[in-house]
Chain A
């Protein structure tokens, strides 16, 4: 069974631009969660999608948004990028709920210049 995949793996953007990251969950998994990881703040929960609906949301500004498609693939969008958005963005999938075991992708390393 293929694992969680994320594209692209690396991304360099400049301040003010926007970016879209993609996550394909493990086949059969319907829950996708997104996390931001930085050296200063550690891992922080962004949001969770289940069956195309946002089911849970962390404390991030509205510049961070996401969506999920009918095939459970998910995208995360960040608009008006700031230097502080530089981070490793991780997505995780689970079979039904966010408190089932989560399986993580390799992450997308975003650098904002």
Chain B
């Protein structure tokens, strides 16, 4: 059974710092891995999608990497800003049934 784990569960850093969020999964049979952002009480915003054949994707200050063989992904946020404060979730799409399996998220707080 696929399990997705995100560490740490919460993170608080000063503005301007670079930071890394981690996501691990137990079954490497995935189509892709996605990173999402969720603001309190809101829906999810897709940040980056990495196909299983890719190693990384970049969008602005965000860079996501994927190491399928080791079951790991990282989301790197450069020069963090207070507006980056949110919960970040990763999810993998399973090959077996096309379902998205979610991590519990990392709650990020950027202090001004």
Answer yes or no: do A and B interact: yes
One of B10-18, B62-70, B74-82, B99-107 at the interface: B99-107
Indicate if A105 sits at the interface (CB-CB under 8 A): yes
Residue of B nearest to A58 (CB): B99
The distance in angstroms between the C-alpha atoms of A33 and B34, with both chains bound, is 15
Among the listed B31, B42, B45, which residue makes an inter-chain contact with A99, where contact means beta carbons less than 8 Å apart? B31
| Interface size range of chain A in the complex | 20 to 34
In the complex, whether B58 has a CB less than 8 A from a CB of chain A is no
CB contacts (< 8 Å) of B45 on chain A: these are 104
Say yes or no: B100 contacts A105, CB within 8 Å: no
B23 close to chain A: CB less than 8 A: no
The interface size of chain B toward A, counting residues with CB under 8 Å, comes to: 23
A residues lining the B interface (CB < 8 Å): 4, 6, 33, 35, 42-45, 48, 55-56, 58, 88, 90, 92, 97-99, 101-107, 109
Main secondary structure of the interface of A (DSSP, over half): strand
B-chain residues with CB within 8 Å of residue A101 when the two chains form the complex:
34, 46, 49
Q: Count A/B pairs, Cβ under 8 Å.
A: 53
How far apart are the CA atoms of A33 and B49 in the complex, in Å? 17
Q: Given A56-B97, A103-B46, are A42 and B34 also a contact pair (CB < 8 Å)? A: no
Asked if B102 and A42 sit within 8 Å, CB to CB, the answer is: yes
The answer to whether the Cβ of B41 comes within 8 Å of any Cβ in the partner chain is yes
A102 & B42 in contact (Cβ 8 Å cutoff): no
Are the C-beta atoms of A107 and B43 separated by less than 8 Å? yes
Question: Mask for B29-45, Cβ within 8 A of A = 1, else 0?
Answer: 00110101000011111
Contact pick for B98, options A43, A44, A56, A107, CB 8 Å: A56
Question: B22 — which chain A residues lie within 8 A by C-beta?
Answer: none
Bound form: Cα–Cα A74–B104 in Å: 26
Name, among A43, A44, A98, A105, the residue most crowded by chain B CB atoms within 10 Å (CB to CB).
A43
